[in-house]
Structure 1
Amino acid sequence: MANSNEPNSRDRFEAFYEEWLAGQQAILNQLLLVAAETAEKDNDCERRRSLIEQSLSHYQRYFEERNDIASDDVFVVFSSPWLSSLERAYLWIAGYRPTLILRLVESGVADLSPEQARRMDRLKAEAVRLEQEVSEAMAAVQESVAARPLVALVSRMGRAVDGEVSAIDVAMDRLRAEMVGVLESADALRGSTMRRAIEVLSPAQAVKFLVAAAEFQLRIRRWGQQRDSNREPAV
């Protein structure tokens, strides 16, 4: 029997997310130090590459931990209660849009060469197309919920007989699996878009981009928490 004192999926991820954000701030501090340097010696480039990989690994850790939670409760992942209301306003399938990642390249890196700009344009066009495909897959999942007998069965939950309860369980299991599949596709697109963008950039440019991405996330977090706090009624 499970220990009733053990934290649930939401509590576990909330604790992880706060720790992850602290790690994100620490990486940002290192990125800012490196971004302020102008030398292009071999050892400096190697330092930048190491920090870039550290940052990417940190993002990957977030995806892996959140997907572990999704395997337990995909619905809580899509609702993301550990985020502020402002953070949730930016969500696309439980995370940021890949095209937002590319806009952060545009805002954070001002010295793209013509060839880099052309490659970024091609990457953006592909990201828009793939985003649409994943959005259509999510819409299909949502439409299938209404098309199945699930809605009618749930409306009768208080009166459902054993066979109908079993049908609800089967339908919910299928819905969970489909939502997890869409989430995995969205995360794969987010990850590949970030890595492909970094491949276009020099190490120094990639550091600037990662600074812009981390600052954006941490500022939205801070502003969102402040807004939510200001709206909370006085006790």
Structure 2
Amino acid sequence: MSRRMMKTKVEEKFSEFFEKWFVQLEEYLQQLLTLSNLETTMIQSEPELQAMVSRVTAHVKAYYTTKWAAAHDDVLAFFSPVWLSPLENAYLWVTDWKPSSVFRLIESLRMSHVSKMKYLTEPQRKDIEELRVKIRLEEEKVEREMERQQVAMANRRMVELARLASGGVTAGALAGHVEGLVEVALKGILCGLERMMKAADCVRLKAIKGVLELLTPMQRVDFLTAICMLQVQLRQVGKEKLSTLLAR
């Protein structure tokens, strides 16, 4: 499988940021794993646990802040990110992970005998289920907007281009009209994609924030540990697979 070698300035700059950001994420994962250890947590106070949670969530927010700034210059880079492996790209939903996957992760943690998530109370489970429904509705809203943009774009611009081509316009004038339409159409597409990407990212952040608000400090540590672990493992496997393919 070939990978595009030349990167745009945005791709190059964000790739550098992402590598550094991911190294820090791996460091936070090790700290989270230490806190998740039963013997260690016996001596941890709630403020210490919350401080760790705050550092990780701030790291996540920094990622999206940087992402949004870069996407304003080149949003297309985030719909086919060169800094991710093909395996990581295969799991993307509007440029990143799907928000509802958080709730499947919680269910898996509830089944684990070592996770504090197995001690979720009935009120916690009820609140998490209500949040899951809200997040799914938000996902559907983003998906409907994506479909609306695609349909509207195909209908309006293609019809107008066809009208110009068959309306007796001279070759030079037609070229000018077409170029103008393409420019307007492209600007509309990019603005729409940027808007949808940010909307999807906001749903992702809302899912994480919403779940964290319903958990105890130790459950928050377990939850963030699982999220970071999945991301790190997916990246490791994806890079290994890519290396194997390139070596053939």
Q: TM-score, normalised to structure 2's length? A: 0.84
The 1-side partners of 2:159 and 2:24 are apart by 43
Matches within 5 A, 1:161-180: 161-180=175-194
Residues 153 and 168 in structure 1, CA contact (< 8 A), matched pair in contact too: no
Query: CA 1:23 to 1:136, structure 2 compared with 1: closer, same or farther past 3 Å?
Result: same
Q: Separation in 2 of the partners of 1:60 and 1:167?
A: 37
Aligned to 2:4: none
**Structure 1 residues 219 and 153, CA, compared in 2 at 3 Å: closer, same or farther?**
farther
State which structure, 1 or 2, has the greater radius of gyration over its C-alpha atoms: 2
State the AA in 1 paired with 2:142.
V
3-state SS in 1 of match to 2:239: helix
**Corresponding position: 1:124 with 2:132:** yes
Q: Please give the secondary structure, in 2, of the residue aligned with 1:232.
A: helix
Q: How many residues align structurally? A: 225
Show structure 1 runs of 5+ residues with no match: 1-5
Deviations 1:154-207 (A, max 9, x none): 9x9x98622321221111111111111111111111001100100000010000
When structure 1 is superposed on structure 2, of 44-53 and 99-108 the one drifting more is 99-108
Please name the residue that 1:50 is paired with.
Answer: 51
Report if the CA contact (8 A) 1:80-1:88 is conserved.
yes
Equivalent runs, 1:1-235 vs 2, <5 Å: 8-36=9-37, 37-39=40-42, 44-108=45-109, 109-149=117-157, 153=161, 161-234=175-248
* 1:104-126 deviation per Cα after TM superposition (whole angstroms, max 9, x unaligned): 22223222111111111111111
Return the alpha-carbon distance in structure 1 between the equivalents of residues 227 and 245 of structure 2: 27
Q: Is the 8 A contact 1:28 1:211 kept in 2?
A: yes
**Deviates most, 180-189 or 101-110:** 101-110
Separation in 2 of the partners of 1:140 and 1:28?
Answer: 39
Equivalent-residue separation in structure 2 for 1:141 and 1:164 (angstroms): 20
In structure 2, the CA distance between the partners of 1:81 and 1:152, relative to structure 1 (3 Å rule), is farther
Question: Aligned partners of 1:170 and 1:196: how far apart in 2?
Answer: 39
Between 1:210-219 and 1:28-37, the stretch displaced more is 28-37
Sequence identity percentage: 26
> Per-residue deviation at 1:40?
6.8
The one-letter amino acid of 1:102's match is F
Letter in 1 for 2:181: A
Partner of 1:3: none
AA of the residue aligned to 1:138: M
Return closer, same or farther for 1:226/1:38 CA change in 2, 3 Å cut-off: same
* Distance in 1 (alpha carbons) for counterparts of 2:63 and 2:128: 25
